[in-house]
Every structure is written in structure tokens, then in C-alpha cells.
């Protein structure tokens, strides 16, 4: 019974939508029922309740009720409570009255029934994360390990494993006890197999870790059975991964068993252990061990051994230390890759190509000369061509994915390779199968996101592929259609959008389901095609499953209208005012659609800041226009004398421009606050916020250069690491660079005249013409049921 992890117990249990209190009340009625069946049914519904309403008060109350059932119920009910605790591990930290919960559960440990004591130990073990240092529980586990009942002992072993992982004091205190039981002749063999894994947690100090390692290495020759060797090697590997200092000796031990032991289970355990240690500390591997592993792979006739060895080197070659040592074309590792890259086993070929990719990437990054680089690239291309034409099974699909990932990685590190691989992949798109088409499109999208417009020469092929797919099938190729539309969006700027491309997107919309259409709209918004997004969202309204999602779609439509109106006809003031109006409506919808479970606070704040930025632009345009119809007052000279500010001679436009600069700077600070509060956002979304903040600061700086006398402020700078980012951010950074060019040569007269206003307008133009790119985090968790 120890160590058993149960399958979810709440699957398939349909129940009507309720609020948290009603649901808990109903389950409480079931718990109080006199029928065991109804009590069990109520217990097994608790995990779903916790997932749906993860509120501390509700979870605390629920666990106290379950603890009562555990205390007074029979063993059958205790088993279900145990399963609830095991499945609700991530909610255990929300129990407020931990002492009371443990008191009720722990009272059963004094039962005369060994099964009841066993269930208690397992339940305590399952909540070890919240009670790691309870000495009375530690004592009970130690005492139960000496029990004469095997069920109780196995439960104590399970609890010991859980507490050893959480508590340093327990691990240190139980080390000698566990070691004695493993060495003792009275302990059955199957229990020793359960006890050995506990030792992997005895890594809290060097002396204990050394003692445990000695115990385990002594066991290996004494218990040569397969299960013992595999379990002991796995335990030693995990212990070494935690201590780090034992990695060299553990690598040597695993290689020894890999070479000497002929049993496949032991070989596999050794290879798996080497793979784990390669992840943890590739720089700690002795060079002799790396070379020995290479020789083993080159001399082995077992394809599984070669495949696992290549997996190890895929990890090792991510370390500069290993790459530096074996980068030469005549090195042992490169010879291994040359021997395996054209293997009849495609899986081995793909792994070999991945190692070559890592080595080539290292050379590109470090600026080292690459010998045989053309041969390495040809290897990737050859394997890719072969896989596209022969992709018929899951293994081939996996290998093709791996090969395409290698191509994309090479293009990321060395962008001049992009055109070469794009031409190769695009040429295979027309005749590829359904599964291959999707993978090829994803690769094209990955390469296309590296540089603006790199896929533009192949737009005709992409639109042709869309027409072919839409004509051939109505329901298949859904993901491929969406991916092809995404490629079009990322390739063409919104200002260059034409009717032919619109027709292709419309064809996809007409021949796809509603969820696919939403994904097309989401991709359009991400790359700034808000007019397309707006047209698609209109067709989805009224076809969602909840009010929350209805308001989300309305908000998305308003935001799309706002951004699209910035590129419509009319004066700048009118377009800005229309956009601000739409944004205010969108913010209202976002707030209406927000709920405690589905919060839209980030989306609302992001939209509010965009609206604030447009307000700043509107104020700036109005201010600049005012110079034509609002000349300086007659008392301007007196104001200059009193204020000792020469620019006051120009009239009220001086103060208005200074006010605009303050507003832009305040808006930038708000973007920075949002950046700091979005702690769970992806890196691309955080970069998006940084660039938007930089735009505000750059705008404020340019206005200060005009509106302040002898302004000596430095131009705002942006982190250089942001240069290698996603396509959307790259385009926004281009706008910043173009705008910055107007600041450096700005040698204007120290008076605000038409020439100065035109310069400010030119600066504003670069930010105005680039539409907003909606960040990925903005769309996070918005999975719409349509």
C-alpha cells in the first residue's frame, strides 16, 4: 500500500455549476450521511472543489471536515481521505489550522488496528510539506519501522520517504536507522528495495552524504540482483546530483556498470543516470569519462546504447567546456557524429545532427573558425529533405521536429543562414503531407520571427498553399491554416496589407471552426493587424459559453477598432480621439468581464496605459497645432524678464510642451510599475512593456530638448540584450532607433517656431505609424469555448 499514487478520483463526476459555499454545504451533507456510499461520494468530490475554488478559508474548512471523517470513520473512508490529500498536495499550504488538522488525524496513530495506523502514517506523509518538523510524527514513523506488521512498516517507509525529502533534521536522524535496516538480515529483500531510495535525500551535510554513499556502494557487490543494482544506482545518481561533489565518482561508477554489466536494465539505468548528471553538472565530468563514453558509443553494436549515449552528448554539448574541448573536426566526438549522422536509424541521425548543431552554434557564438561547416549544414538539409518525403509514423514525426528545431536554432545564432533554410523548407511545403505541412509551417514561423520581412519572397507559395488546403478539405489542416495565416501576419506590415492577402485570410476563416478563427484573430492582434482582428472577432460575438468571455471578445473588438482607427482617414486629432473613445469602451468591457477566478486586471491596466499614451499624443498634437492660431501675448517680454526664461517669449506653447513632457514621463513610469507587477509574464511580454516605457521616455526627452533652455539631459537608453528578441519587439525597437536619429542632429534655434514644431511632429510620426503589438501575456489563459 505504500508509495501508491492513485489516478484522479474526480474524473467524470459531473455536477452543476455552484458557488463555493453551496458546493461545500452540499458536500458537508454527504459527509454527515449515515450511508458509507454517500460519504465516499462526497469525499472524492473535494479535489475538484479545491481546483475550482482555491480559497484558503474553504480549503481549511474542508480539510478539517475530512480530518474529522478520518478520525471517526472506518478504514475505507480513511483510504479516500488519504487519496484526497495526495491529489491536493498543491493546496495543502492553504490550510490555516494545521495544528488542529494534524491533531485529528494523528489521534488514529494510537489505534490497535495496524491498517488504521498505516493509513495514518501515509496521510501524514502526504502532508509532510506543511508539517516537516513535527517531532511526534518523526517518532511515530521511527517506531512503526520496528513494527511486526508488514503493512504498517511499508506505510512507515512511505512516510519516511516523504519526510526525508522535506526535513533536514528527520533525514539526518533517520540516516543510521535506515542504513541499519538495509544492512540487517532481518529486513526482507522487498523492503530493502523500498528503503534504499530514502537515502537519496540524505544530502544535507557532507559527512552524512559520504556515509550514505559508502552504504550504497557496499550494497552493490553484496546484492547483484537486477532490481537491487538498478535501485541503488538510481539512488546514488540522485544523491550525487544533490551534492555535486560526488558527480565525478558517480559518473565513473555508472560507466563501470555500463561496460561490465550485460543486463539491459542495468545499462539503461546507467545511461539514464549519466543523462541526469549531464544536466546537473556537465562541467564536472572528468575528461576521461567523456572520452570513455564516446568510445563506448562508437564501439557499441546496440542501437539503443548509441541512442542514449547521443542523448547524453546533446546535453553535454550545451556546455562551453565540452564544446571547447571537442570542437575540432578530428576530435572523437566529431568523429562519432560523422559516423552516426547518416545512420539508417533516423532517431540516431537526428540526435547526431542536434549535437553538430550545438557545436556549430558554439563556434558562431564565440566567433571561432568552423571546420567543415558546409558539410554540417548539408547534413541537416539532407536529413530534413529525407524526412519530409518519408514522414509516415510517430518516430519520423519526432525526428522531423528535432531536425527543424536544429535548423531554427542555427538561424537564430547565425541569421545569414535564414534565407538558405527558408528556401529549403518553403520548397517542400507544396507537396508535404498534412503532419509535415504543420511542422514545416511552424519552422517557417520560427525563422520568420527572427527578422522582419524575411519570408516575403515566399508569400505567393503560402497563399497558394492556403487555397490548396481550403479547397481539398473543410475540417482537416486546421492548425496548418492558422499557422499559415500567422506567417502572413508576421511577414507583412499592416501598412502594406492588400486585398489578395485579405482574401486568403477570409478563405481560412470561412473553412475553419470558431476556435481556429479566434486563434487567427489572436495572431493578427499580436502582429498589429487590428483591422483583420476586428473583422474576425465580429463573427465570434454571441458564440461563446459565458458572460466573462463575451465581455472579453467585446473588449478585444474595441481595442482592435481603436488601433485600426489610428490608420484610418481623417485628421490626426480625430483619429486619436476615436481611438481613445474605443479604448475607454474596451477598458469598461475588460472590467465587466473580470472575476476572481478569471482576472483581467493586467489586460485592463495595459489598455489603460495605452489609452493614457494616446491621450499624451493627442495633447501633443493639439499643443503643436496651437502655434498657428495662438501667438505670444503682448506681455511676453515682461514674462521673460520675470521668469528669466527666454522660451516664455514664445507664449503658452512653451508651458504646454513642458506639460506634455511631464505627462509622457509619468506614463513611462506607469509602464515601469506594470512591468514590476507582472511577475508571471513571459519574457517577450516584459520586453514589450520595457520598449513601451522607453518610447514614453524618449518622447519626453525629445520635447524637453525643444521646450527647456540649455537642456542637458541624456537620451534614454535601452538594455542591449533586448536586441535579440521577438519580431514584434524588433519592429518597435526600429521605431525607437529611427526616432532617435532626429534627436542627435537637433540643432534648432532656441525659440519655438514652425521648424521646431515640424521636428517634434517628425519625431511623433515614428511612434504613431507603428501600431501597437499585443503582448502574449495579454492573451494569456483566454481559452474561449465557442
CA distance 105 to 128: 13
Q: Dmax of the chain from CA atoms?
A: 108
Least confident of 258-272, 431-445, 468-482, 507-521: 468-482
Q: 190-223 as b/e, with b when 16 or more CB fall inside 10 Å?
A: ebbbbbbbbbbbbbbeeebbebbbebbeebbeeb
Rounded to 5°, the CA angle 464-466-469 comes to 110
The whole-angstrom separation of Cα 739 and Cα 133 is 60
Axis-axis angle for helices 226-243, 206-222 (nearest 10) = 160
Judged by average pLDDT, the poorest of 515-519, 520-524, 593-597 is 593-597
Check whether 687 has a pLDDT greater than 90.
no
Cell 536586441 -> residue? 723
- Match 558562431 to its residue by C-alpha cell: 364
User: 212: closest CA among 235, 230, 228, 234?
Assistant: 235
Q: How far apart are CA 659 and CA 647, in angstroms?
A: 14
Q: What letter does residue 199 receive in the DSSP assignment?
A: G
pLDDT, greater one: 680 or 72? 72
pLDDT for 578-623, tens place per residue? 999 999 999 999 999 888 777 888 999 999 999 999 998 888 888 7
How far apart are alpha carbons 402 and 387 in whole angstroms?
11
- Residue 352 sits at the vertex; the CA angle it makes with 348 and 354, to the nearest 5 degrees, is 120
Neighbouring C-beta atoms of residue 57, cutoff 10 Å:
12
> How many helices, marked H, and strands, marked E, lie in the chain?
37, 0
Cell numbers given for 533: 482582428
Cα angle vertex 278, ends 277, 280, to 5°?
Answer: 60
**Residue 453: φ, ψ to 5°:** 75, 10
pLDDT band at 496 (very low <50, low <70, confident <90, very high): confident
Where b means 16+ CB within 10 Å and e means fewer, 255-278 reads bebbeebeeeebbebbbbbbbbbb
Confidence grade of residue 721 (pLDDT, cut at 50, 70, 90): low
For residue 228, the SS3 value is helix
Range 741-753 average pLDDT: 53
Find the mean pLDDT for residues 428-452. Answer: 85
Per 3-state DSSP, the chain is made up of helix, strand and coil in percentages (nearest 5) of 75, 0, 25
DSSP state of 696: H
CA 384, CA 55: separation in Å to the nearest integer? Answer: 50
Give the residue with greater pLDDT, 722 vs 429.
429
Q: What is the pTM of this model?
A: 0.78
C-alpha cell at 508: 481560412
Q: Does residue 389 contact residue 412 with C-beta atoms inside 8 Å? A: no
Return the number of other C-beta atoms located less than 10 Å from residue 76's C-beta: 11
Q: Which residue in this structure is represented by grid cell 507559395?
A: 461
Q: What percent of the chain has pLDDT over 70?
A: 86
Say whether pLDDT at 156 is over 90.
Answer: yes
Distance of CA 608 to the CA centre of its chain: 26
CA dihedral defined by 416, 417, 422, 425, rounded to 10 degrees? 180
User: Residue 528 has what pLDDT?
Assistant: 86
Q: What is the mean pLDDT of residues 5-25?
A: 55
Summarize pLDDT for 625-646 with one digit per residue, the tens.
Answer: 776 665 555 555 555 555 555 5
The confidence band for 125, taking pLDDT boundaries of 50, 70 and 90, is: very high
Q: For residue 85, which of 1, 198, 5, 25 has the smallest C-alpha distance? A: 5
Whether residue 763 is predicted with pLDDT greater than 70 in this model: the reply is: no
pLDDT reported for residue 722: 62
Amino acid at each position: 500500500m505504500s508509495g501508491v499514487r492513485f489516478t484522479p478520483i474526480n474524473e467524470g463526476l459531473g455536477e452543476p455549476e455552484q458557488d463555493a459555499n453551496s458546493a461545500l454545504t452540499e458536500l458537508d451533507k454527504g459527509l454527515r450521511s449515515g450511508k458509507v456510499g454517500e460519504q465516499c461520494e462526497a469525499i472524492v468530490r473535494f479535489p475538484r472543489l479545491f481546483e475550482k475554488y482555491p480559497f484558503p478559508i474553504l480549503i481549511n474548512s474542508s480539510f478539517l471536515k475530512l480530518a474529522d471523517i478520518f478520525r471517526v470513520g472506518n478504514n475505507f473512508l480513511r483510504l479516500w481521505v488519504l487519496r484526497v490529500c495526495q491529489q491536493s498536495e498543491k493546496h495543502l499550504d492553504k490550510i490555516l489550522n494545521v495544528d488542529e488538522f494534524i491533531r485529528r488525524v494523528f489521534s488514529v496513530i494510537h489505534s490497535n488496528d495496524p491498517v488504521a495506523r498505516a493509513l495514518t502514517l501515509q496521510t501524514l506523509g502526504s502532508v509532510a510539506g506543511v508539517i516537516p518538523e513535527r517531532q511526534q510524527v518523526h517518532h511515530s514513523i521511527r517506531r512503526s519501522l520496528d513494527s511486526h506488521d508488514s503493512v504498517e512498516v511499508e506505510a512507515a517507509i512511505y512516510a519516511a520517504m516523504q519526510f526525508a525529502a522535506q526535513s533536514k533534521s528527520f533525514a539526518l536522524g533517520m540516516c543510521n536507522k535506515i542504513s541499519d535496516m538495509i544492512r540487517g538480515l532481518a529486513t526482507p529483500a522487498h523492503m530493502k528495495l523500498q528503503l534504499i531510495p530514502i537515502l537519496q535525500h540524505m544530502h544535507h551535510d557532507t559527512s552524512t552524504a559520504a556515509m550514505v554513499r559508502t552504504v550504497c556502494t557496499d550494497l552493490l557487490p553484496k546484492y547483484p540482483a537486477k532490481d537491487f543494482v538498478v535501485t541503488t544506482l538510481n539512488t546514488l545518481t540522485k544523491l550525487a546530483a544533490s551534492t555535486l561533489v560526488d558527480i565525478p565518482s558517480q559518473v565513473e561508477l555508472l560507466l563501470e556498470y555500463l561496460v561490465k554489466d550485460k543486463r539491459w536494465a542495468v545499462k539503461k539505468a546507467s545511461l539514464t543516470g549519466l543523462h541526469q548528471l549531464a544536466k546537473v553538472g556537465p562541467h564536472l565530468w572528468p575528461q576521461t569519462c567523456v572520452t570513455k563514453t564516446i568510445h563506448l558509443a562508437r564501439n557499441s553494436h546496440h542501437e539503443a546504447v548509441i541512442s542514449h549515449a547521443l542523448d547524453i552528448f546533446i546535453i553535454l554539448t550545451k556546455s562551453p567546456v565540452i564544446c571547447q574541448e571537442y570542437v575540432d573536426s578530428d576530435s572523437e566526438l566529431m568523429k562519432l557524429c560523422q559516423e552516426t549522422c547518416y545512420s539508417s536509424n533516423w532517431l540516431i541521425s537526428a540526435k547526431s545532427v542536434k549535437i553538430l548543431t550545438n557545436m556549430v552554434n558554439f563556434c558562431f557564438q564565440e566567433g571561432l573558425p568552423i571546420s567543415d561547416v558546409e558539410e554540417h549544414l548539408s547534413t541537416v538539409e539532407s536529413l530534413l529533405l529525407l524526412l519530409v518525403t518519408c514522414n509516415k509514423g510517430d518516430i519520423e514525426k519526432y525526428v522531423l521536429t528535432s531536425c527543424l528545431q536544429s535548423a531554427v536554432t542555427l538561424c537564430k545564432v547565425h541569421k545569414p543562414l535564414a534565407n538558405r533554410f527558408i528556401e529549403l523548407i518553403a520548397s517542400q511545403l507544396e507537396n508535404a503531407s498534412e503532419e509535415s505541412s504543420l511542422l514545416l509551417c511552424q519552422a517557417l514561423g520560427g525563422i520568420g520571427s527572427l527578422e522582419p520581412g524575411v519570408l516575403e519572397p515566399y508569400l505567393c507559395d503560402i497563399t497558394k498553399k492556403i487555397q490548396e488546403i481550403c479547397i481539398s478539405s473543410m475540417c482537416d489542416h486546421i492548425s496548418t491554416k492558422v499557422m499559415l495565416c500567422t506567417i502572413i501576419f508576421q511577414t507583412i506590415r499592416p501598412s502594406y496589407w492588400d486585398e489578395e492577402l485579405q482574401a486568403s485570410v477570409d478563405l481560412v476563416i470561412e473553412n475553419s471552426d470558431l476556435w481556429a478563427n479566434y486563434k487567427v484573430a489572436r495572431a493578427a492582434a499580436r502582429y498589429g493587424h487590428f483591422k483583420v482582428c476586428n473583422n474576425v472577432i465580429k463573427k465570434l460575438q454571441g458564440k461563446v459559453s459565458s458572460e466573462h468571455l463575451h465581455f472579453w471578445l467585446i473588449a478585444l473588438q474595441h481595442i482592435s477598432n481603436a488601433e485600426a482607427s489610428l490608420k484610418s482617414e481623417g485628421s490626426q486629432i480625430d483619429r486619436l480621439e476615436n481611438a481613445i473613445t474605443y479604448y475607454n469602451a474596451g477598458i469598461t468591457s475588460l472590467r465587466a468581464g473580470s472575476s476572481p477566478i478569471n482576472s483581467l486586471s493586467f489586460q485592463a491596466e495595459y489598455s489603460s496605459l495605452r489609452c493614457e499614451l494616446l491621450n499624451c499624443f493627442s495633447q501633443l498634437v493639439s499643443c503643436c497645432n496651437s502655434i498657428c492660431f495662438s501667438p505670444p501675448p503682448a506681455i511676453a517680454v515682461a514674462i521673460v524678464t520675470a521668469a528669466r526664461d527666454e522660451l516664455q517669449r514664445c507664449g503658452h506653447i512653451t508651458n504646454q510642451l513642458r506639460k506634455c513632457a511631464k505627462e509622457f514621463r509619468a506614463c513611462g513610469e506607469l509602464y515601469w510599475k506594470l512591468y514590476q507587477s507582472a511577475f508571471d509574464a513571459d519574457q517577450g511580454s516584459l520586453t514589450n512593456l520595457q520598449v513601451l516605457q522607453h518610447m514614453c521616455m524618449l518622447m519626453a526627452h525629445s520635447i524637453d530638448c525643444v521646450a527647456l533652455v540649455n537642456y542637458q539631459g541624456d537620451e534614454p537608453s535601452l538594455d542591449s540584450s533586448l536586441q535579440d528578441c521577438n519580431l514584434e519587439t524588433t519592429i518597435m525597437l526600429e521605431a525607437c532607433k529611427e526616432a532617435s536619429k532626429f534627436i542627435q542632429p537637433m540643432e534648432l534655434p532656441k525659440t519655438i517656431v514652425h521648424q521646431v514644431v515640424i521636428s517634434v511632429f517628425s519625431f511623433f510620426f515614428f511612434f504613431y505609424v507603428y501600431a501597437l503589438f499585443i503582448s502574449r501575456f495579454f492573451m494569456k489563459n483566454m481559452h474561449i469555448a465557442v
